[in-house]
């Protein structure tokens, strides 16, 4: 069979304020093949595909469909060209039937849609592709896997030839994933093509004919799946290994156990697997334990369980040798546990309050800043100015609302507050995410300084070089489990990359 | 050419002053259109409103007397709104306050006479507080939507009140209304229709300002209202604060009811649901939840009410016109608030953003 490119992306670039989401990306999809887009969170996979379906407009570059240059400015345009996308979040109306959902929003729909005819066509299509969906059933009564098949059916009904699937297996059980794989293979045999977004390597090998790897918005390589012999090569491409700078660090001299997590699980009724699956972990005074993993594999749930923001279903969490399982956030804070939360704007600061007030949000309740429940504004002023100077927070005044600061300075504000109030334990989640080189370095150095002062630190990060540079030990999480814990000197990029992608140690 | 709304880099100080002023002008213009439809001269009508509210000492006193319960309800709602708890139940909490004080006045007759009023006022706070605390507890524990619950509880409170003054607690004479409170337990008058309740409400304004802007608790409420997730991460208990805030919010609305009936109506009777609770929402919103500004807004809205009551006589307009003009005040203000954080930009169609 001669290969005809059905989609060609040429030199696509997309910038968002402050970041380049995609830079100069080329991509070719041939008829009858599955192309896997592999990359970490934030590598630009979804942005790239959103440009292909008209949700974003590229700043530069051209899109060709079946050899013809096209201008796609809306999902309707892409659908007319036969390109359809299944997003991570399904776009279905829960209390309508399958058939109603599928025809919803069609431009040429009659006022009273001829459902008998529509249902017949849907059943035929379903048979053709082994989708096995009853068009009259109500969406809310279907499993997640079935809902996904409805999304596929919807695209097929609307005449899509090129299907884009954004992390389709993230919500599926292993059995459902196999099913999906069969459906995709069937579609290929009918002359359709697919792009498959994923960050799991095993899956990519199973599903795709070719793999294209994105890192930090750029395409870093394409491989025929059949020629991949060593997963390590792909892992290296995906996570990169360019260590930018090294940081000075005192000698590793661990003390008492400050945080001990014993067999902790969190069951979550909305997901197919537990958020945390029998986690065991210890953090000692004067050491930094890093948690590696692709976002969404339980790292945030773990940090929230320790800080009292999320209830655990079993196991126990000991802080300073006291059982602190399922205590309230204030009880944990009173143990002098500091927390740099994952989402700095949503959890870390109150944007509509001043920088000074944000800096005081831990200590306003102490005698240091208030007396007899009355807040002393003069003390806050002095306190805030002191922290603004020590942490070199760039802000017009301490009375400026925090939301007007840059990401780096917002993070410095949080860091200043948490480190100032910290006595012994620090939980830092993605502390340098999205920051520029300078701010990143400040954050990392502050954390190391705390460790040298004897603080027990748990550092969750997506960036391997950060973990390798900063941590004493690295644990890797995948689907709510800790795959392995190792000393940093044994934690090679390849090894962590494989563990992050769910490859068990025995399979390496 | 088309319009695009763009986020400003910081809150515009100029707009914070301009928006209320301009929206007031716009609502006056919108009101004029309605008035023209009713064959009334808008200028004359607005002049008649101002006259009706302020032109004689008696009218001025009447305006201030109306301002007192209105301001109470505005303060009440303002506390809940700080937490983004949409309490639209001040009306019902106010009615429960009246029921509370009436209960004491009518049945706690064993109390020494001088204690009737203070205990009655306290009871109005407690009754209102319970009526506010219930939706607070429902929201805090089970995330029950507060808008619906507070709204529905208004009608329950009004229903209970009706049952009481038409049947259970009805005075032997007449066909509705409870027995008048003993005269020793009335709130006295200071100047004409203005009673000592005005002192209570002004003290309350100062106390609330202090609590909301200077204390740890006020700081926590501020954090919750502006970013509840961040507040939770800092160890602030959202549940507890919602319930406490709603107990106080409902209590203050109930206090408004208690004071107004001890000073003006002296009994529980029809007309107890006079709409102060709903107009209080406008007070809270227009004042930006600031207690001091609430005083001015409450006077303004009370004047609009007394003034437009006079319209019936002087301009031959239906009495419901007052409600129409009030409603028109809030719309442009709410719509205009967007310009404080955003600016309007005109772009050419060809340009791609």
Distances in whole angstroms, Cα of residue B228 to Cα of each of A349, A430, B216, B239, B243? 10, 21, 16, 11, 15
User: Which residues from chain A sit within 8 angstroms of residue B10, using beta carbons?
Assistant: 400-401, 404
| Residue A487 confidence class, pLDDT cut points 50, 70, 90 | very high
Cβ atoms A82, A90 nearer than 8 A: no
Q: Hey, are the CB atoms on A374 and B10 less than 8 Å from each other?
A: no
Pairwise CA distance, residues B258 & B121, whole Å: 6
Cβ atoms A236, A202 nearer than 8 A: no
Averaged confidence pLDDT in chain A: 87
User: Which residues from chain A sit within 8 angstroms of residue B218, using beta carbons?
Assistant: 375
Q: How far is B246 from chain A (nearest CA, A)?
A: 20
B interface toward A at CB cutoff 8 Å? 9-11, 214-219, 222-223, 226-227, 229-237, 352
Q: How far is A343 from chain B (nearest CA, A)?
A: 10
Residues in CB range of A22: below 8 A, 6 or more apart: A12, A13, A14, A44, A47, A48, A51, A58, A217, A218
Q: Where are the domains of chain A?
A: 5-239, 252-336+459-508
Q: Hey, are the CB atoms on B217 and A373 less than 8 Å from each other?
A: yes
Tell the CATH topology of A252-336+459-508. Answer: Rossmann fold (3.40.50)
Give tens-digit pLDDT for A193-206: 999 988 777 788 88
Q: Which residue of B has its CA nearest to A358?
A: B223
**pLDDT surpassing 80 at residue A379:** yes
Burial of B72 (0-12, 13-18, 19+ CB in 10 A): buried
Q: What are phi and psi of A151, to 5 degrees?
A: -60, -40
Pairwise CA distance, residues A49 & B54, whole Å: 66
Q: In what helix (H) or strand (E) does residue B309 lie, and over which residues does it extend?
A: helix B291-314
Q: How far is A63 from chain B (nearest CA, A)?
A: 17
Residues belonging to chain B: 353
ipTM computed for the complex? 0.85
Distances in whole angstroms, Cα of residue A390 to Cα of each of A369, A416, A420? 18, 8, 10
| Residue A242 confidence class, pLDDT cut points 50, 70, 90 | very low
Q: Hey, are the CB atoms on A373 and B216 less than 8 Å from each other?
A: yes
Which candidate from A57, A334, A404 shows the least CB-CB separation from B10?
Answer: A404
Q: What is the per-residue pLDDT for A508? A: 62
What is the DSSP-derived secondary structure letter of residue B184? G
Q: Which of B106, B263, B224 is nearest to B169 (CA)?
A: B106
Q: How far is B217 from chain A (nearest CA, A)?
A: 8
Q: Hey, are the CB atoms on A353 and B352 less than 8 Å from each other?
A: no
Q: Hey, are the CB atoms on A375 and B216 less than 8 Å from each other?
A: yes
Q: What is the per-residue pLDDT for A231? A: 75
Q: Hey, are the CB atoms on B235 and A329 less than 8 Å from each other?
A: yes
User: Which residues from chain A sit within 8 angstroms of residue B352, using beta carbons?
Assistant: 57
Helix-, strand-, coil-residue percentages of chain A, each rounded to 5:
35, 25, 40
- Are both A5-239 and A252-336+459-508 of the same fold? yes
Q: Hey, are the CB atoms on A333 and B235 less than 8 Å from each other?
A: yes
pLDDT tens for chain B, 353 residues: list them: 667 677 676 677 788 788 888 888 999 999 999 989 888 888 988 888 888 888 899 999 999 999 999 999 999 999 999 999 999 999 999 999 999 999 999 999 899 989 999 999 999 999 999 999 999 999 999 999 999 999 999 999 999 999 999 999 999 888 889 999 999 989 999 888 999 999 999 999 999 999 999 999 999 999 999 999 999 999 999 999 999 999 999 999 999 999 999 999 999 999 898 899 999 998 998 888 999 999 999 999 999 888 887 787 787 888 778 788 878 877 888 888 788 777 777 765 444 43
Q: Hey, are the CB atoms on A374 and B216 less than 8 Å from each other?
A: yes
What's the mean pLDDT in A97-120? 87
Which candidate from B223, B233, B352 shows the least CB-CB separation from A339?
Answer: B233
A143 vs B50, higher pLDDT? B50
**pLDDT surpassing 80 at residue A17:** no
The count of other CB atoms within 10 Å of the CB of residue A251 is 6
User: Which residues from chain B sit within 8 angstroms of residue A341, using beta carbons?
Assistant: 233
| Cα three-residue angle B210-B214-B217, rounded to 5 degrees | 100
Q: What is the per-residue pLDDT for A246? A: 64
Pairwise CA distance, residues A277 & A297, whole Å: 10
pTM of the complete model: 0.76
User: Which residues from chain A sit within 8 angstroms of residue B231, using beta carbons?
Assistant: 350
A248 vs A56, higher pLDDT? A56
CA atoms in the 13 A half-sphere facing the CB of A311:
3
User: Which residues from chain B sit within 8 angstroms of residue A333, using beta carbons?
Assistant: 234-235
* DSSP state letters, A342-390: S-IIIII--TTSBHHHHHTTTTTTSTTTEETTEE-HHHHHHHHHHHHHH
Give tens-digit pLDDT for A276-310: 999 999 999 999 999 998 777 889 999 999 999 99
| Cα three-residue angle B58-B60-B61, rounded to 5 degrees | 65
What's the mean pLDDT in A440-445? 84
Q: Which residue of B has its CA nearest to A335?
A: B235
Which candidate from B11, B218, B223 shows the least CB-CB separation from A361?
Answer: B223
Q: Which residue of A has its CA nearest to B232?
A: A329
DSSP, collapsed to helix, strand or coil, labels residue A18 as: coil
**pLDDT surpassing 60 at residue A437:** yes
Which candidate from A309, A330, A365 shows the least CB-CB separation from B216?
Answer: A365
**pLDDT surpassing 60 at residue A234:** yes
Q: Residue A456: beta bridge partners?
A: A425
The count of other CB atoms within 10 Å of the CB of residue A88 is 12
Domain A5-239 grouped into CATH 3.40.190.10: no
Pairwise CA distance, residues B325 & B28, whole Å: 8
User: Which residues from chain B sit within 8 angstroms of residue A352, using beta carbons?
Assistant: 226-227
Show the tokens assigned to B229.
């997730």
Q: What is the per-residue pLDDT for A169? A: 79
Q: What is the per-residue pLDDT for B9? A: 64
């Amino acid at each position: 069979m001669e290969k005809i490119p059905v989609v060609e992306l040429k030199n696509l670039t997309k910038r968002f304020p402050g970041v380049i989401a995609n830079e100069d990306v080329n991509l070719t999809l041939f008829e009858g093949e599955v192309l896997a887009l592999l990359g970490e969170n934030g590598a630009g996979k979804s942005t790239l595909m959103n440009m292909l379906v008209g949700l974003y407009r590229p700043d530069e570059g051209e899109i060709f469909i079946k050899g013809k240059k096209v201008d796609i400015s809306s999902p309707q345009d892409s659908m007319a060209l036969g390109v359809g996308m299944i997003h991570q979040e399904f776009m279905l109306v829960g209390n309508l039937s399958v058939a109603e959902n599928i025809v919803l929003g069609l431009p040429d729909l009659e006022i009273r849609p001829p459902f008998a005819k529509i249902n017949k066509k849907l059943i035929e299509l379903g048979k053709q592709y082994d989708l096995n969906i009853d068009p009259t059933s109500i969406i809310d009564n279907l499993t997640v896997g079935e809902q996904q098949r409805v999304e596929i059916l919807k695209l097929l009904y609307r005449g899509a030839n090129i299907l884009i699937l954004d992390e389709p297996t993230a919500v599926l059980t292993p059995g459902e994933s196999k099913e999906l794989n069969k459906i995709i293979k069937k579609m290929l045999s009918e002359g359709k093509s697919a792009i498959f977004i994923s960050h799991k390597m095993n899956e990519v090998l199973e599903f795709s004919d070719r793999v294209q790897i994105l890192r930090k918005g750029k395409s870093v390589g394409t491989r025929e799946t059949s020629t991949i012999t060593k997963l390590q090569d792909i892992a290296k491409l995906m996570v990169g290994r360019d260590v930018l700078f090294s940081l000075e660090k005192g000698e590793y001299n661990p003390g008492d156990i400050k945080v001990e997590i014993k067999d902790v699980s969190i069951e979550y009724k909305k997901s197919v697997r537990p958020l945390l699956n029998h986690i065991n972990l210890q953090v000692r005074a004067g050491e930094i334990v890093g948690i590696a993993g692709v976002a969404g594999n339980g790292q945030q749930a773990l940090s929230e369980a320790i800080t009292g923001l999320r209830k655990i279903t079993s196991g126990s969490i000991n802080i300073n040798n006291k059982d602190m399982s399922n205590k309230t956030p204030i009880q944990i804070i009173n143990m002098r546990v500091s927390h740099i939360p994952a989402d700095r704007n949503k959890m870390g600061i109150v944007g509509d309050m001043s920088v000074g007030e944000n800096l005081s949000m831990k200590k306003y309740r102490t005698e240091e800043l208030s007396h007899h429940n009355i807040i002393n504004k003069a003390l806050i002023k002095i306190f805030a100015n002191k922290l603004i100077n020590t942490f070199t927070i760039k802000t017009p005044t301490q009375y400026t609302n925090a939301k007007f600061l840059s990401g780096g300075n917002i993070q410095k504000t949080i860091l200043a507050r948490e480190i100032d109030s910290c006595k012994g334990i620090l939980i830092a989640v993605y502390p340098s995410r999205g920051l520029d080189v300078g701010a990143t370095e400040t954050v990392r150095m502050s954390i190391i300084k705390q460790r040298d002062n004897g603080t027990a630190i748990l550092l969750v990060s997506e960036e391997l070089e950060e973990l390798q540079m900063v941590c004493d030990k690295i644990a890797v999480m995948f689907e709510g489990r800790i795959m392995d814990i190792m000393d940093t000197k044994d934690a090679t990029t390849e090894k962590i990359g494989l563990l992050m992608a769910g490859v068990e140690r025995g399979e390496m | 050419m088309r319009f695009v709304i763009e986020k400003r880099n910081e809150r515009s100080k100029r707009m914070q002053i301009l928006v209320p002023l301009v929206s007031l002008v716009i609502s006056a213009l919108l009101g004029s259109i309605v008035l023209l439809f009713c064959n009334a001269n808008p200028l004359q009508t607005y002049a008649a409103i101002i006259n009706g509210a302020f032109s004689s000492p008696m009218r001025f006193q009447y305006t201030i007397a109306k301002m007192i319960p209105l301001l109470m309800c505005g303060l009440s709602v303002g506390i809940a709104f700080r937490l983004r708890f949409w309490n639209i139940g001040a009306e019902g909490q106010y009615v429960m306050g009246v029921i509370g004080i009436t209960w004491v006045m009518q049945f706690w007759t064993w109390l020494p006479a001088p204690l009737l009023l203070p205990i009655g006022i306290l009871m109005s706070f407690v009754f209102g507080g319970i009526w506010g605390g219930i939706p607070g507890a429902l929201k805090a524990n089970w995330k029950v939507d507060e808008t619906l619950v507070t709204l529905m509880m208004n009608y329950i409170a009004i229903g209970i009140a009706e049952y009481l003054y038409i049947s259970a607690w009805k005075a032997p004479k007449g066909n509705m209304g409870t027995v008048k409170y003993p005269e020793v337990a009335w709130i006295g008058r200071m100047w004409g229709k203005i009673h000592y309740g005005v002192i209570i409400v002004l003290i309350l304004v100062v106390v609330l300002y202090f609590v909301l802007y200077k204390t740890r608790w006020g700081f926590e409420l501020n954090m919750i209202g502006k970013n509840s997730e961040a507040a939770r991460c800092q160890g602030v208990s959202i549940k507890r604060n919602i319930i406490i805030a709603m107990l106080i919010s409902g209590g203050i609305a109930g206090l408004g009811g208690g004071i107004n009936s001890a000073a003006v109506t002296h009994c529980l009777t029809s007309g107890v649901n006079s709409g102060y609770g709903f107009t209080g929402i406008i007070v809270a919103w227009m004042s930006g939840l600031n207690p001091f500004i609430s005083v001015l807004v409450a006077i303004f809205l009370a004047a609009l009410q007394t003034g437009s009551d006079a319209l019936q006589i002087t301009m031959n307009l239906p009495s419901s016109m007052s409600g129409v003009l009030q409603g028109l005040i809030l719309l442009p203000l709410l719509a205009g608030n967007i310009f404080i954080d955003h600016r309007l930009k005109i772009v050419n169609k060809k340009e791609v953003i």
